[in-house]
């Protein structure tokens, strides 16, 4: 977005015209963008929300998926509070240690992070906290006194005897009491007992058609009511199509259209807004009543998120 003059610019996030001194300097973002017209205030808010969401790598607020160089906590320290900066550094440190086995000291007064840099086996093994010298199990982080058989050993013997199988996704063991051999893990929605251990092809737990349509009806109603919601890009595309159809019914304004819309949206206030305010607002527009704005990558499953408004 072009600057309005040499002494001011228009922020591409808040769309405010601000003094050039409020522009995010290149020394902060250092990404592939040739130039980025974003104000310091919007960048600080973006970082604060990203840190709260637990993102290990925070990209340029405009590049997002195409960012070649994430923001550096030290470079951005002056943009955020000390609390946000400390939390950001902690998350970044945790992210750098993802490839190593780790546990926390069970001592409530210590809770030191213990890293397995040598890559030991997954069997239960006793370690000693380097800070407070408390003995614990590296596998489950529970206290483990010397010359005592640990709980992990007893649990593993039960697992072997009852022939439980681990979920291929989260590795937690699942017990089948009765019924068919296909069991869905609550954590990962992957079938665990119908596949051999180590198999990499899983089937996702699909939602029934009725449940999915109910979810979409709720999302469309919330979009009409609040005029902005955040969801995954895939769901946003479905909601966009349905929301455009609802606005088209509102513009039609007939009794038949009202009946169709009332059977879909939730709430009389949503229906009233659809046939009055939105119908009048878009009376001269043939289509394209909504738009999608990509926002971030969701923590956990890396699903791309977007605002629909």
Closest CA to 261 of 64, 270, 167: 270
Q: Three-class SS of residue 301?
A: coil
178/249: higher pLDDT? 249
Superfamily of chain region 8-96: Zinc/RING finger domain, C3HC4 (zinc finger) (3.30.40.10)
Distance CA 1, CA 231 (A): 26
Class of domain 209-308 as given by CATH:
alpha beta
Per residue in 198-215, pLDDT (tens digit) is: 333 333 434 445 667 778
Q: For 134-194, what is the HEC assignment?
A: CEEECCCCCECCCCCCCHHHHHHHHHHHHCCEECCCCCCEECCCCCCCCCECCCCCEECCC
**Cβ(12)–Cβ(38) under 8 Å?**
yes
pLDDT at position 34, please? 56
Q: Quick one: tokens of 211?
A: 């449940």
- Neighbour-count burial of 234, counting CB atoms closer than 10 A to its CB (0-12 exposed, 13-18 middle, 19+ buried): exposed
pLDDT surpassing 80 at residue 239: yes
Per residue in 119-159, pLDDT (tens digit) is: 655 566 778 888 888 888 777 777 777 666 666 666 667 77
**Cβ(194)–Cβ(174) under 8 Å?**
no
* DSSP letter, residue 25: P
Could you tell me what percent of the chain has a pLDDT over 90? 0
User: Which contiguous run of DSSP H or E holds residue 55?
Assistant: none
For the whole model, what pTM was predicted? 0.36
Please report which confidence band the pLDDT of residue 117 belongs to, taking 50, 70 and 90 as the band edges. low
Burial state string for 286-299 with b = 16 or more CB within 10 A and e = fewer than 16: eeebbeeeebbbee
Q: Quick one: tokens of 267?
A: 């709430």
Indicate the domain borders of the chain: 8-96, 101-159, 163-206, 209-308
Highest mean pLDDT among 52-56, 213-217, 222-226: 222-226
């Amino acid at each position: 977005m072009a600057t309005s003059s040499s002494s001011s610019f228009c922020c591409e996030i808040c769309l405010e015209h601000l003094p050039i001194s409020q522009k995010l300097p290149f020394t902060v973002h250092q990404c592939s963008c040739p130039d980025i017209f974003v104000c310091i205030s919007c960048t600080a808010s973006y970082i604060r929300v990203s840190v709260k969401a637990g993102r290990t790598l925070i990209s340029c607020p405009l590049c997002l998926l195409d960012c070649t160089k994430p923001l550096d906590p030290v470079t951005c320290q002056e943009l955020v509070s000390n609390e946000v900066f400390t939390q950001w550094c902690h998350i970044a440190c945790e992210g750098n240690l993802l490839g190593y086995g780790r546990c926390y000291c069970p001592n409530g007064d210590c809770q030191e992070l213990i890293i397995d840099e040598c890559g030991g086996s997954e069997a239960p093994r006793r370690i000693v906290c380097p800070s407070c010298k408390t003995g614990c199990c590296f596998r489950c982080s529970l206290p483990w006194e010397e010359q005592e058989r640990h709980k992990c050993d007893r649990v593993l013997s039960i697992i072997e005897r009852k022939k439980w199988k681990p979920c291929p996704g989260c590795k937690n063991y699942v017990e089948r009491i009765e019924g068919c051999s296909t069991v869905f893990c609550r954590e990962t929605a992957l079938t665990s007992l119908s596949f051999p251990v180590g198999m990499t092809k899983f089937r996702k737990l699909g939602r029934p058609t009725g449940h999915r349509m109910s979810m979409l009806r709720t999302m469309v109603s919330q979009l009409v009511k609040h005029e902005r919601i955040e969801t995954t890009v895939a769901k946003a595309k479905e909601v966009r199509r349905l929301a455009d159809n609802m606005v088209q019914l509102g513009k039609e304004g007939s009794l038949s259209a009202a009946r169709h819309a009332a059977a879909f949206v939730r709430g009389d206030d949503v229906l009233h807004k659809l046939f009055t305010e939105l119908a009048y607002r878009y009376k001269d527009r043939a289509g394209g009543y909504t738009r999608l704005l990509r926002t971030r990558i969701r923590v956990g499953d890396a699903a791309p998120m977007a605002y629909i408004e």
